[in-house]
Amino acid sequence: MSGRRIEPQPGETIDRGCTVRFRFDGRQLEGYAGDTIASALTAAGVQVLSRSFKYHRPRGLLCGAGHCPNCLVQVGDEPNVRACRRPIEEGMEVAPQNVWPSLQYDAMALTELVSRFLPVGFYYKTFIRPAAMWPLYEHVLRNAAGLGAIDETTTVGGDFDKEYLHADVAVIGGGPAGLSAAVAAVEQGARVLLLDENKTLGGHLRFSGDGDDGRTRVGAWRESLGKGGATVLTQTAVIGHYQNHWLSAVRGNRLYKIRAAGVVVATGAFEIPMVFDGNDRPGVLLGTAVQRLIRLHGVAPGRRAVVVTASDAGWDVATDLVQAGVEVAAIADERPGQHADQRIDTTETQVLHGHTIGAAHGRSAVRAAVLVPVDGDGPWHTVDCDLIAVSTGWNPSLELAYLAGARSRYDEDLGEMRLQAVPDGLFLAGRVAGPGGLEDDVRQGDDAGHAAAEWARGGSKETGTTAAGQRTPAAPTGGRSSALVAAPPTGHDKRFVCYCEDVTDVDINTALLEGYDRIELLKRYSTLGMGPCQGRMCGLQGIRHCARDTDTSVADTGRTTARPPVTPVSLGALAGQRMEPVYLSALHDWHVQQGASMMIAGPWLRPEHYGDPVAEVGAVRQTVGLIDVSPLGKLQLTGPGVATMLERLYVNQWQDLRRGRVRYGMMCNDEGIVLDDGVCARLSEEEWYVSTTSTGAAGALEWMEWWRQSGWGEGVHITDMTETFAAFNLAGPRSREVLQQLTERDLSKAKFPYMRARRAEVAGVPCLLLRIGFTGELSYEIHCPAGFGRYLWETLVEAGGSFGLRPFGVEAQRVLRLEKAHLIVGQDTDALSDPIAADAAWAVRLDKGDFLGKRALTRVSSEGPRQRLVGFRTGRRVDALREGLQIVDAERRIIGWISSCRHSPTLDETLGLCWLPADMAAREQSTFTVFVAGRLEAAQVHHGPFYDPEGARLRS
Amino acid sequence: MDSCTQVIDVAGGWRLPEAFQSPDVELQAAKKAVVLGDDTSRGKILVQGEDCARAARQAFGAAPDAVGTWVEAEGVELSRLRPDLLYCGTPPERLSFASEALRSAAQGMTEPLTITDVTHGRFELRLLGPAAGNLLSRVCGLDFHETRFAQGHVAQTSVAKTHQLIIRADVANLPAYRLIGGRALGAYVWDTLMEAGRDLQLSPIGWLGLQRLT
Amino acid sequence: MLRIDCPNCGARNAAEFRYAGEYNPRPTQADDDEWIRYLYLRRNRMGVQVEWWYHRSGCGTWFLVERDRRSNEISRIMRWQPGVAETGSLSA
């Protein structure tokens, strides 16, 4: 292993006995089990992990905490993997992102040379004209934009799924505050769920402070949680908080949807970078990143370091560096006066108070740091180094608290956001609520855990809120953040505020000058904070820049709205397991075996045809056909109040319908618009069987239940029988003969005439038979228990064999009904169609009592509809006529449209239904023109059915 | 559905998978992880009306008073879905008994009562084993924790984006659930559960295995 | 996700329900103006409104929810009964 690996550290998470081989950018490398990709690469001396989004500048590890975009790499087919979080695995194939043709020589890096021609808002300004050029622009931009590569031929990242979790108290963050909160809640008897995004619990105790003591305490907390039955999920990132404490979290390929009564947010704080010249050069690392590498992975990220700080935190980092054998060449401490730490030997290390960093020199790796006086007054110190550890500022991880509705305000004294108010059931503990010492964290976690458990038990709102400002920021050991908006410029290099989108302080200033002077506008125009880190690295810096350059206080500048997901999530995790319910008829397998072409019809799969829809139409007209109509909505209505309720829900009359009879029915809403249609059969005085359209079945049931449950359903029970019964329509002149073979029930016209319902045993199966005729032929709708559906269907097919029976599909049925000019609700009607206009005035009984739509239809009836649904024919075959085409007048103004159109094989002409102005529709045989792709086609108005207008066949 | 070794004829004219591997192997899987079985042949009756519980008590001597609970009486499982709706699940051979008992009880009721046999309209699956609750949490937002949905509970909810009735009916000290939903979605639900439970070692159990458990 | 207390089933995720707009009872006697208000005009309150919900994935109950549309806070859940939303009497 490389010389970057140091002596074993007491709390390290690597197993030095287990070597793991992987490849990066084509190179074979080694690390230890427990290494992250980033720690293994650092140990191997690899500093450049990727190139930046816009300028393709070389980038290396920066935050080490899973926030910044610098270490995003491609792992196999999975793009945008955070190298500082993902553990290495044997044989893993890792590739850098945003590089072409290679990491070392990147062609797009030339964009940096022309960067003064790539100002902020470049895309908006440049690529808008000439418009004809957009396809070319788009092609180039699409290739230049985006992060990583996706193989569109496979499922990236394997299978994904989701899981629901439930808890009394969900604790987010497994640091000292979160752990003590979880333990306190468990001790209160609460069902606790602890979520942490790291591999191991402990938060900053893993890599800072007195390691041994920290580990002992974490061990004890863990044990208490285990005993208390808490669920602990590590490597789990909480990405959203929604209404009523609904959390979403991602762990690997699983998305968790979590419902908690109370939530403890103990998400801590994260270190943020400093704005200085060349602040993105590989070798510039945040202080905690350095500590993580040393203490968790036993890796020294450099040989000669410069530490930049504004508090004692930087001195901790310097101490860790010295202990790891790294030479600390200089410490620049922003604070004036003496803060010398006896752990640092000042004879070895140059200590510069009142100084900060002005520039990092170097290109693919840091060569030197330029340290400058904070007040700009005094000489610069150029210090050779290969590592710059920046420990100048923190920001609390308030994102989830914001999503939950918490408010914050910038605290000038602390240099960070402070919480103002939190919503009910939310409790904050630890560093997220303000700086403090370890014991403060633990005590506050304990309080929050107790309060959350009490809240979950139904505690009062008063005790349920952790008031903001409860924490005293006295002598914060974590340290106050740098007071500087940015270091004094040295003029050497770009100064990045936003690493994800390559936004510099100059870009921000330009955007402000252009008038984008509100933080939300600034964000959208400059794309500041819109990359993978979602503003974690740059949010506060952007606000400070905006405040400074607009002469506003930081507090009054406000912040941009927090939105989920807090951290990037793969689309696969959001999609989860594919769950698309599809309704299959009891005959589905038979249809498929017979080679049916299946189509989606509402929630169902139905046979469109069995190969030859024209022949299917012919069979029904000449002999007999059989269609599966199981998707029809089927409702059983029982009780003394059914007739009364139907009178109110349907436009038709029902009280007079006698037992054993069937009637067509149409439902409208109070606007008089057609909602659904079907037939209602009165099986006995108080038992009705009602069918609805196949696609509208669920909606019709909800509609009926709505009225039933809000005053119109006295003495009515509705039972959905849609899936209980399979249903077929046996249609055609020979259908009686086919069916009569299988039943003892007399099917003669005298005993079982048109529009009647009869119970009968068919081939031993108890059935309900309805003599109704959508197809226009003698036909029987057969309803039988679904489990016997296939048996009965096959029996019918066999019985009809000698009569030339053919199964027919939806397409043939559409032709058959069109030959009869029957409308289909939803096909020939829309959200503006009333039954009078839709040529169903015969069904509307305005002389009965109140019903849904009566008032509107009374008006339509007296004034007459403006448009009417009417038949049309052409006398020939016109394949160009299609559904949806517009009907135009002599000036080619649109006056109507075709709602249904087919070539009728029976009549050998193209015909259909269309919407026309009422006066035109009233004139039988009047000619109109249809606009077909620039041409005009003529058609004639036709009244009534095209086929068998007297209806003799269906009554036969 | 997954391929089974043989189809068996059971009461009511139903044909069901006899076994997928062998009953012994399937029983072991139920004890170790979780199994899914097809129990669609069970009788299913809906009793609607304000007097639904009174009628059931008269017919079977017991009825669930609280919505969301079920009781067993006379070999029949009675679930209270709403104050005015009772679901009655029966072994296939008890369907006609239950149906007739309810119908004769209905005669004496003052409020209208509707008794509907929906046996053919619903699939019935059984999910058994220590990991059954975990599997359900992959497809359903209900809280299946022991303290929230214990033996004797019943709920109508969304499972794998379909409407279902879930009955907690433990078997031989194993957590077990009946899943009852629309027949036309049976194949979809079976396949979806099988996929969701892959990493929990979910396997199918046949009729013989189910019989030996219950 | 909003959690809604179905008067029959208890607290469930909002995804189990259908939201069906503000409570808009059908007038029995109405002049044209009132009828037009019923048909086409919604109050669209920024604040507390009474609205219809339907437990689609559950028990199939239609019920009324009184909800603050700014905060999503639910103050009352009611089964329908004549005049329930007007008088405010609860029957859950």
Q: SS3 for A646-686, per residue? A: HHHHECCCCCCCCCCEEEEEEEECCCCCEEEEEEEEEEECC
Kindly determine whether residue B157 and residue C12, on different chains, have CB atoms separated by under 8 Å.
Answer: yes
CA angle A273, A279, A284 (to 5 degrees): 80
From C81, which residue of chain A is nearest by alpha-carbon distance?
A: A710
Round to whole Å and give the CA distance between A926 and A316: 94
Kindly determine whether residue A711 and residue C80, on different chains, have CB atoms separated by under 8 Å.
Answer: yes
Round to whole Å and give the CA distance between B64 and B72: 9
Kindly determine whether residue C1 and residue A670, on different chains, have CB atoms separated by under 8 Å.
Answer: no
Residue C70 has pLDDT above 80, yes or no: yes
Q: Return the pLDDT at B113.
A: 95
Bridge-based pairing of strands B154-159 and B162-168 is antiparallel
Q: Return the pLDDT at B108.
A: 85
Q: Give CA separation, B159 vs A166, A697, B145, B186, in Å.
A: 16, 20, 16, 12
Scanning A771-830 for CB atoms below 8 A from B yields 785-788
- Burial pattern B30-43, b for ≥16 Cβ within 10 A else e, equals beebbbbbbbbbbb
DSSP one-letter string for A386-437:
SEEEEE--EEE--HHHHHTT-EEEEETTTTEEEEEE--TTEEE-GGGG----
Bridge-based pairing of strands A633-638 and B85-90 is unpaired
Round to whole Å and give the CA distance between A732 and A615: 13
Structure ipTM: 0.96
Question: What are the per-10-residue average pLDDT scores of chain B (214 residues)?
Answer: 63 84 93 96 96 96 97 97 97 95 92 95 97 97 95 97 97 95 97 96 94 85
Round to whole Å and give the CA distance between A681 and A394: 74
- Residues near A474 by Cβ (< 8 Å), separated by ≥ 6? none
Residue whose C-alpha is closest to residue A806's, from A631, A615, A953, A954:
A615
Round to whole Å and give the CA distance between C60 and A673: 25
User: To 10 degrees, what angle do helices A438-456 and A176-187 make?
Assistant: 40
Q: Give residue A461's region: left, alpha or beta (phi > 0; psi -120 to 50).
A: alpha
- Chain C: residues touching B (Cβ < 8 Å): 8-10, 12-13, 15-16, 56-59, 61
With a cut of 50, list the residues of chain A below it in pLDDT.
Answer: 1, 461-477
Round to whole Å and give the CA distance between A700 and A692: 7
Q: Which of C10, C16, C59 sits opposite B158 (nearest CB)?
A: C16
Residue whose C-alpha is closest to residue A869's, from A944, A951, A950:
A944
Q: Return the pLDDT at A465.
A: 41
Q: Return the pLDDT at A835.
A: 97
Interface test with A, best of C5, C26, C42, C72 (most A CBs within 10 A): C26
Scanning B137-156 for CB atoms below 8 A from A yields 137-143, 145, 147-148
Beta bridge partners, A682, equal A688
CA A769 to chain centre: 47
From B141, which residue of chain C is nearest by alpha-carbon distance?
A: C13
Q: Is B185 on the interface with A (CB under 8 A)?
A: yes
Q: Which of C1, C38, C80 sits opposite A710 (nearest CB)?
A: C80
Cβ contacts of A725 on chain B, cutoff 8 Å: 120-121
Beta bridge partners, B34, equal B202
Residue whose C-alpha is closest to residue A305's, from A383, A397, A210, A226:
A383
pLDDT in tens, C11-47: 999 999 999 999 999 998 899 999 999 999 999 999 9
User: To 10 degrees, what angle do helices A613-622 and A810-819 make?
Assistant: 50
Cβ contacts of A259 on chain C, cutoff 8 Å: 3, 13
Q: Establish, for the pair of chains A and B, how many residue pairs have beta carbons separated by less than 8 Å.
A: 101
pLDDT in tens, A634-692: 999 999 999 999 999 999 999 999 999 999 999 999 999 999 999 999 999 999 999 99
Q: Return the pLDDT at A813.
A: 97
Would you state the structure tokens that stand for residue A834, as one six-digit string?
A: 């009333």
Cβ contacts of A856 on chain C, cutoff 8 Å: 39
Nearest chain A Cα distance for residue B53, angstroms? 16
Q: Say if CB A302 and CB A282 are below 8 A apart.
A: no
Would you state the structure tokens that stand for residue A286, as one six-digit string?
A: 């945040």
- Chain C: residues touching A (Cβ < 8 Å): 1-3, 13-14, 18, 20, 26, 35, 38-39, 52, 54, 56, 60-62, 72, 80, 82
Cβ contacts of B157 on chain C, cutoff 8 Å: 9, 12, 16, 57-58
Kindly determine whether residue A161 and residue B196, on different chains, have CB atoms separated by under 8 Å.
Answer: yes
DSSP one-letter string for A307-362:
EEESSTHHHHHHHHHHHTT-EEEEEEESSSS----TTS-TTTSEEEETEEEEEEEE
pLDDT in tens, B106-134: 998 888 999 999 999 999 999 999 999 99
Kindly determine whether residue C57 and residue B158, on different chains, have CB atoms separated by under 8 Å.
Answer: yes
